[in-house]
Amino acid sequence: MTTATEELPACCRQGYVHDGVAKGTVENLHGLKTYVAKPANFPTSAAESPRKCIVFLTDVFGLDFINNRLYADNLANSSGLTVYLPDLFNGTAMAPEPVMKVAEDREKVKGIVDRLRLGLTVVKALPTGAQFLVQNNDKTMMARLSQFLNGLIDIDRYKREHIGAIGHCWGGRYATLLAHEAKVACFAVAHTSRTAVPGDIEPIKIPALFLCAEEDVWFSTATRLRAEECLKKRREEATQAAEDKVAPVTTDYEFVVYRGTTHGFACRGDVSDPLVKAAVDGALTKASLFFQQYLI
C-alpha cells in the first residue's frame, strides 16, 4: 500500500531546517495570507519608483516554514526588491516535522519494532499529506496565483513588467506555467518538480533562469538537457524571425548546475557543508542579479 506521504515528491521527504529569525511581516493580501519581506534599505516614503517585486512560490511546506521565510528575507536583501510569499496552499501546506521524520525513521528500520514505530510516524503525517494532495491541484493553485497577481497589478499598482516570480520545488511548476501567458516579466526556478518536458518548456514566453541540483530525480540531467534543447530551438526560431522581420518571442534563458547538491538545496540544503553553502549563496546571488536585470 502506498501512503499519502510516499505519493508526494521526494523534495517533501528530505532537507534541513535552517536557523534564523524571520524579519518580514505577515499580512492579508488579495485574499491570501502573505509573508512580506523588504530589503533593509527599503524606502520609508512613497518615493520608491518604479515599484518592483518578486513573488516567491514555495515548496510544499509553504509560508509558515522558517526556511521559506528566511529565503524571502535573504532574496529581498540580496536583490533590493520586495518579496511576496503568498500562502497558495490556503492553510493546507505540509508540516515539515512529521514528513522529514518519516524519511529519517525509514533509514533506521531494522526489525518489527522499528517498522511499527515507522508506521505510527506515517499515520501522523497522513492527514496533512492527503489534504494537501486533494486541495492543491494545478487548477486551484493557478486560480489562487492569478488572483494574487491581479491584486498586485489592479490594487497595489505594480506593472506586469515590474513583477518577477521564483519557484522552488513544487512552486517551480507554477512559476513555469506563469511564463506560458507572460503573466510576469521573468521567472526563475530552483530544483523544480513535476515540470514536463517539452510540454511545460516549449510555451515559455519570458526570460527564464533554471537553478539546478547536480542530482535531482525530479529534474534530472537528461530532463535538463531536453529542456535546454527546447529553449535553444526557440532561440534559433527567434533569430530567424528577426531576420524575417517578424516579432520574435523572448528567448533569454540560462541553466546553472550547482556541484555537490541534491533536490531542495536552495531552501533546505545542509549549510554546514561548505560545498552546499556555496551553492545556496551562489544560487541566491544568481537569482538576485537575474531579477535586477529583467525587471525594467
Is the pLDDT at 111 greater than 80? The verdict is no
For the chain, domains (ranges, CATH) are 4-93+134-294 (3.40.50.1820), 96-133 (no CATH)
pLDDT at residue number 139: 93
- Residue 262 Cα distances to 120, 173, 178, 221, angstroms: 28, 18, 25, 12
- C-alpha cell at position 3: 501512503
pTM: 0.85
pLDDT at residue number 126: 40
pLDDT in tens, 202-261: 999 999 999 999 999 889 999 999 999 999 988 887 777 666 666 556 679 999 999 999
Q: Predicted confidence band at 280 (pLDDT cuts at 50, 70, 90)? A: very high
Taking residues 84-98, report their average pLDDT.
Answer: 84
pLDDT at residue number 223: 96
Q: How many CB atoms lie within 10 A of CB 74?
A: 19
Is the pLDDT at 140 greater than 50? The verdict is yes
